[in-house]
Chain A
Amino acid sequence: GAVVSQHPSRVICKSGTSVKIECRSLDFQATTMFWYRQFPKQSLMLMATSNEGSKATYEQGVEKDKFLINHASLTLSTLTVTSAHPEDSSFYICSASTGRGAGNTIYFGEGSWLTVV
């Protein structure tokens, strides 16, 4: 079964509204979670690194006020897309690390398809 759960899997929202995506680690405590964005037929682009109890570290070019990341507990990180626009429509996927970086300790959520209309 999934060790990282992401919700919702698909969401449609209206322009100007905000949408929240949750990423939960089910079987372990994730000190670090990562948020990626992926456009069709392209690679995963790292948006931010989310550390429990501290502010997220955003990659260059990612607007921190638009993509709000909160990692309030060791099992939950959330990405909120604020004032969404159609160009924010994309596939968003999270991953969680136990921090040790070995081969089987990086887990991905199922991903969330966001469509802004």
Chain B
Amino acid sequence: AQKITQTQPGMFVQEKEAVTLDCTYDTSDPSYGLFWYKQPSSGEMIFLIYQGSYDQQNATEGRYSLNFQKARKSANLVISASQLGDSAMYFCALLPLAAGTALIFGKGTTLSVSS
């Protein structure tokens, strides 16, 4: 079975601090991708970062980095120097890389950044 687990319903962080959002996954597919999305209250899904299962290096995109530990099946998102605008819901998602398959989402983590 393919599954994404996000165990933190809510996280609180102060501005300028770093925060780690946890994500573990389960899949038997050898090829897959892992995504993180940000969803503000408007509802749009904002793509943040992607990690392929065969990528040797951890993905980074600006203030976002993905701590990919394949043996542990974890793909934690690290946000450095948090900003007030980072307050939102964050979803980790798994994509089996067969053509035409859908993203499998975790339950999400609500991040609140305070000043």
Taking beta carbons and an 8 Å cutoff, which residues of A are in contact with B?
Answer: 31-32, 34, 38, 41-44, 46, 49, 51, 91, 93, 95, 97, 99-104, 106, 108, 110-111, 113
Q: Determine whether the beta carbon of A101 is less than 8 Å from that of B91.
A: no
| CB-nearest residue of chain A to B100 | A32
Number of chain B residues whose Cβ lies closer than 8 Å to a Cβ of chain A: 27
| CB-nearest residue of chain B to A35 | B102
Nearest 5 pairs between A and B by C-beta?
A: A103-B50, A108-B45, A111-B43, A101-B97, A32-B100
Choose among A44, A102, A113 the residue that contacts B105 (Cβ–Cβ < 8 A).
Answer: A44
Choose among B33, B44, B100, B104 the residue that contacts A99 (Cβ–Cβ < 8 A).
Answer: B100
Residue of A49, A99, A106 with most partner-chain B CB within 10 A: A106
| CB-nearest residue of chain A to B51 | A103
Q: Determine whether the beta carbon of B33 is less than 8 Å from that of A110.
A: no
Please report the C-alpha to C-alpha distance between residue A61 and residue B44 in the assembled complex, in whole angstroms.
25
Q: Determine whether the beta carbon of A43 is less than 8 Å from that of B107.
A: yes
